[in-house]
Structure 1
């Protein structure tokens, strides 16, 4: 069965408004506190659904042989909108340290700006380490957004959150270094 050629790209772009909606609900829920966890749950579920679409759009594009330069460029950008909104929202609520968020955002948007600057020359698809980094960020954010502290207690929840966020920061730094090294090697080989 054939699918519309633009469906994977439409799914990719849909992550951007999902990021905004998730952030708004997270912050509204945070302002209301534990008295209204429905907003927190909703924000978390929207985030999880949004991150799940990252797999769906890629699968559809590869399965139906409709991979596009638009998708290669915008898929990681949409991911960064969604994860960035999650990190910023949690930092605003005081649930993640700002220094972690700043490191992640500098790496994410620095590489995104570079990709956009060289898009006329060639499109840089996400490398394997960048994909692993995105998965770990998604897991860390999903854990932190879902109010699991109600089930396991605040202390256990905080320890798991710290471990997952620390791993996300380390992989973000490592994948950023990997990207820069690959770009430098590619530039040297092109000369």
Structure 2
């Protein structure tokens, strides 16, 4: 079943010239595209990652290495599914919802596990997760006025967070353990700074949207 609307087939089940068969077919057939499958894999990795992280009390270097591998795969699929979706026009409603959930689920699981095991202060986890949830809610609040685009700072923040959390998952010692502290410090700073920038963008976007609405209302009023 293709789900092609009758308007696109002229009621005969066959595509008509100029119809929107292509777009409709893509929308209907794209749920199981490669981008969505990678997103699903990332979601399935979350419980597996948690199990690996907490095996044998959570401090066995071997299990931690396997947990790092699962986390790394999740981070890599995060890069590729978005790229594939944009490049090959595989963007779907499912992907729009599931992709950010998968991102926050794997990062949240890693941060909570690390704090639970005492490797990372709880306030760091609270700051990062609070920022991520806050920005997500902010996007929904102002979506009627427009979309807040991903910034370069946001991408740097994601890279810093992924690198820092990955280093904490591994059982590092000596100089590498000290290095991961500073990488996490950079990640926290970027998390706060980019979060504040999103708030600024949301305020500007809302003001512009309200101004446009008032201008449109004034034009309609004068035309009466």
- The alignment's TM-score, normalised by the length of structure 2, stands at 0.71
Q: Equivalent residue for 1:190?
A: 209
Q: Give secondary structure in 2 for the equivalent of 1:81.
A: helix
Task: Give distance in 1, aligned partners of 2:168 and 2:47.
Answer: 17
Q: Structure 1 residues 187, 140: closer, same or farther in 2, change over 3 A?
A: same
In structure 2, what is the equivalent of residue 159 of structure 1? 178
| Greater relative contact order, per chain length (Cα 8 Å cut-off, separation 6+) | 1
Matches within 5 A, 1:6-21: 6=31, 7=33, 8-21=35-48
Query: What residue in structure 2 maps to residue 136 of structure 1?
Result: 160
Deviations 1:98-134 (A, max 9, x none): 1111111111112223334556776555333222211
Partner Cα separation in structure 2 for residue 122 and residue 24 of structure 1: 40
For 2:190 and 2:58, how far apart are their aligned partners in 1? 33
Cα deviation for residue 58 of structure 1 reads 1.4
SS of equivalent to 1:96:
coil
Which residue of 1 is the match for residue 102 of structure 2? 78
Deviation beyond 4 Å, 4+ runs, structure 1: 116-125
Alpha-carbon RMSD across the aligned residues, in angstroms, is: 2.4
Q: Secondary structure at the match of 1:5?
A: helix
Q: TM-score, normalised by structure 1?
A: 0.83
Note closer, same or farther for the CA distance 1:32–1:183 as it changes in structure 2 (3 Å cut).
Answer: closer
Moved more, 64-73 or 126-135: 64-73
1:5 to 30, 41, 54: 30
Assess, with a 3 A threshold, how the Cα gap between structure 1 residues 70 and 189 changes in structure 2: closer, same or farther: farther
Whole-angstrom CA distance in 2 between matches of 1:190 and 1:64:
31
Match of 1:33 in 2: 59
Structure 2 residues not aligned, in runs of 5+:
1-25, 211-224
Of 182, 186, 191, which aligns to 1:172? 191
Mapped partners of 1:59, 1:121: distance in 2:
26
Partner of 2:112: 88
Larger Rg: 1 or 2? 2
What residue number does 1:22 align with? 49
**Distance change >3 Å, CA 178–CA 77, structure 1 → 2:** farther
